[in-house]
Structure 1
């Protein structure tokens, strides 16, 4: 009798195998621009960063890696962004239009809020939306790069495709050494990239819901409403705060005109929630903006999407719980719906464990490096939240520090998914209940 692998373990194993395969591919001399051997740490760290769609790097992607190496990296963050189990279901649909229960369960790990009967539909949405949208963004970028930057069609096509795929998957990889800084004044580049990152980051359950009920918001699921409203609030709050903190900073927004200040402020707010691109020097940001990034990077994007973090829905549930408690309500409610107690417990657990991981990662990195605490915290949260932004210390960390970041990237991307799924699938009612008592809190 074959033993079925637990869906949570299958996800972790799938990501791990992709990382190992990516490491092996990137270690080939063919993957390096000069044809020489690639150090194990460079190949491994890059593979982890790509599969976990983080974007932290030890070497410049555009000059260190060959076309083969860059293509390998793009494939890795495409796989990581779409989710291993979503890819497995798509493959199953191509072979057999009726996926087995095991495959559906495995895919539900990545699409937790979707019912079992909708998994096939979700898989189709994943394929159609991701491929068509990435190609559309790539076409827009290609035309802009060819017409306004004088690139040959081949070069413009590759640069456009790489950044379109990276943006939609919130990977943060760029083949430019300055990321998006050279395009800081070009809305024709920044707007499509920002749009791709936001749409990819809201999550496939939301896209699935919008596809079927776009004109009837009243019937959107609670998950969709919480994710979209939470995303909008975070974007606007981050936007206003960044403009406030950076408006007069001569090294960042202070160097731009009014229109460019407004455009780059919005791009920075969107990028902070895991897309990983930057149009200004992150190291030159004010300490207040760094603190804001801690918050935005830790939250990340929507569940079952390409973004990382503890997820917008998780924080939204906790905010609703606090509001209900402050009002003295016994139920946690939003949009005419009651939030289940199990969802509340899961949200608290994910947030607490995420905070513990960040705390331990910070302490570990402080022990083995000489960098200031604020920079270390930024790096740790960027790794855990799959944000990919950096103050510039990644490559200067000792190998042990880089391994800590690699572990944080894996746990941040895979751990939250697998743990939340384990909570859901492992939930069971006990045949008895102990007498209730209320310990003193606060």
Structure 2
């Protein structure tokens, strides 16, 4: 049992890294396309596409919003649903399930959020500009894992696990920041309705409801819509829905294997018909096998696996396409030396590094945590810089933090340049560490 669990955990980690690294490549291509398009003679077409209004009508109810908002507020809720599912899985049976494994990435993530925010605030202490302190706190898990994946098997799996765990906790921190600080005009009645629907999901969980459609209908039609109208950002609905989705199997491994063996024997004993068809009795047995297999799966993991390709290759690339198309105008040097830009740049590149390394060093020094096997401090330094690739989450928070279009533009330019610098520095450190090993 332990050996099988260990092998499946390693397989899940490797499979996750493969998907995330591929996502990082797709995101990079999407960003390049968006940037080229936004700075071409056809930039007007790009802007018009994002302003296209899309309506959903059910009876007298109608919701009409531009495509950009449907992507940022609607589709990104699915991204946060996936983040919530991943976090819950890690807490229930993954790398965050034991205090010894969880302390280091959680502590590193906290340090990597606190220091960037403080550094940003040093440059922007007042006015609307001060609202952007949450922007450099974020880590783009897909991009950072994509860069790390370029090193292939030359880096230990434990280092990837550390970065994934850190980034997942970082994403949760980003969600809390959005929920607590980037909301406005809260409607208490709509918020009450949201938690009412959330309570219904919890009851469904405890009642043993395992159908994905139940959680999808109430999660989207209830929790998401209520949050949308409440003033609290609707992406929070994704996290709450994930919390409510069952993370336990209906039958344990022993019962599953017993039933499967019995059904296998029963299938063999049935007489098959001529040709390529099977008998009706065998067909019924196969249906029983499907039901049994479904009972041995958790709805949480089933939904997470189903969401992975959609979120990785549709939701995130669409978000990147819609938000990374920055039309570079004015003097770029002046933009990059603006206090907002400096706060984000120093926060992502140096704040992330200082916070992650300092908190990790303190936890290891106090013997509250220890470095994972086969990992050295130079590799932690490299990963700490890679965590400064803020892209997706940073741009997301940027859209919520500012109303001033120039501030949004300045922040986006800084996020792109800073994420690039952080990625390059992190890669150089990891390359040098590899050379030191081979000397």
**If the length of structure 2 is used for normalisation, what is the TM-score?**
0.32
More helix by share: 2
The answer to which structure, 1 or 2, has the higher relative contact order (CA under 8 A, 6+ apart) is 2
**If the length of structure 1 is used for normalisation, what is the TM-score?**
0.32
Quick check: which has more Rg, 1 or 2? 2
